[in-house]
Every structure is written in structure tokens, then in C-alpha cells.
Amino acid sequence: MAKAFISYSTKNKTLVQVFNEFLQLGMGVNKDDIFCTDFSESLATGRIFSERVKKELASCEIVISLITEEYLQSKYCLVEMGAAWGMNKHHFPLISVPFEQLSDTPLQGMQMRRLNDSSDISMVYDELLEYDIRKKSQTAEFNKRLPGFIKAVNKICDCAKVNLQ
């Protein structure tokens, strides 16, 4: 079973691809330790995908939610977020929307990180080591790739124009 479960809206395919690449190459998380339905091998042909999603969500150590406007509009994403909350999973809500939009969700009062903020993503990098999601430090590679990741997130989410604080 994977250690990290990635929750995202399928309408944010480009964002999840950029995030997964950065998670693996920039942060040093092994692909085998990530469950993400965007990986073609995650869901077997002819199987009921919701059963696999429930199984992976129940067995993972952390849930990383890529919270966008589309995420907040997706009933499936909100179910995943609620399930993570109900199962007391360690939750990493990474947002590209203003905090106020989350005031009526289970995230109210929870520490969130901004997807387009270098300091916030650096905190996530450190926390993934604390939770044994990544095995070693690769700070030079992380620092090399971080600016490109932030630039890509700003372009994809258009969140450079939004005050996320």
C-alpha cells in the first residue's frame, strides 16, 4: 500500500501531473509510495475504481489534497476530504484558493499550505521526512526544482493573481 494518497479534481490533470513530478523528483518521494489515480497503473481495467480508492485511503499514512476551485466543486473530492478527516488521517491541504473559501469545510481551523508559496512547500518537504514519506534529504535538488514548480502552479491555477493569505 502507498504511504501518500493524492486527492485532486480530475479537471486539474495538469496540476496533479506537475505536483507528482515535483513530489518524486524534487522532494524524493518514491512513486511506489504514492497512490494517485492519475497514474495509469493505479486502477485496474474492469475493476470498480471506488473500491480501490477506499482501500488506499484507509491504508495510507497521509492524504495530500490539491485544493482548487474545481476540487471544491467536486462531490467526489469532498467525500475524500471528509473521509480523511473522519479517519483522522494526517492531512496536507495544499490550496490555490483563498482561505475564506474553506471556512465551511472540515479544513476550518486546520493549518493549510499554499501551493504557490516557497516557504509553505518547504514546510511540506520537511514534514514528509518527519512522517517517513520520503527517506532521505535531497535539499539541493528540491531547491533547484522549487522555483519551476511555483511558476508552473501559478500559471496553471492562475493563483498569482489571487491573494491566498
The predicted structure's pLDDT at residue 53: 82
C-alpha cell at 33: 509510495
Cα Rg, the chain, nearest whole Å: 15
DSSP letter, residue 23: I
Residue 9 CA, distance from chain mean position? 11
Digit-coded pLDDT (tens) for 25-82: 999 999 999 998 876 555 555 666 778 788 889 999 999 999 999 999 999 999 999 8
Q: Which amino acid is at 108?
A: Q
Residue in the block written with cell 473522519: 86
Q: Which amino acid is at 55?
A: K
DSSP letter, residue 67: E
CB 137 within 8 Å of CB 129: yes
